[in-house]
Amino acid sequence: MFHNLEGADVPDFARNGMNRIFMPTETQFEVLEQLGKGHSNKEIARALNLTVAAVEYHMHRLFDLTNTANRVELALWWVEYRAVNPFDRLRRKSV
């Protein structure tokens, strides 16, 4: 999911073209958190009570949404994104 933040002070890496910023769904957020910890799709599925196919679906959606090509790029993108995005830190604390 993206929100239009034209003119907002947002780091370039968080933007995904046309003045949009990445806002993950709750499941995407959880998948990214697990990926950032270095977990495999099978481990992510087990931790989140999902099927491996569901995790793969979310991963491919995340590749598209973040303009990344593979899980290594996505994990690196996520680590950088989390470092400067206080919204996700606050959101995670309230979950």
CA distance 83 to 49: 27
DSSP H/E element including 25: none
What is the predicted pLDDT for the residue at 21? 62
What is the predicted pLDDT for the residue at 85? 65
With cut-offs at 50, 70 and 90, classify the pLDDT of residue 22.
low
Residue 86 scores a pLDDT above 70: no
The dihedral sign for the CA sequence 5, 77, 30, 85: negative
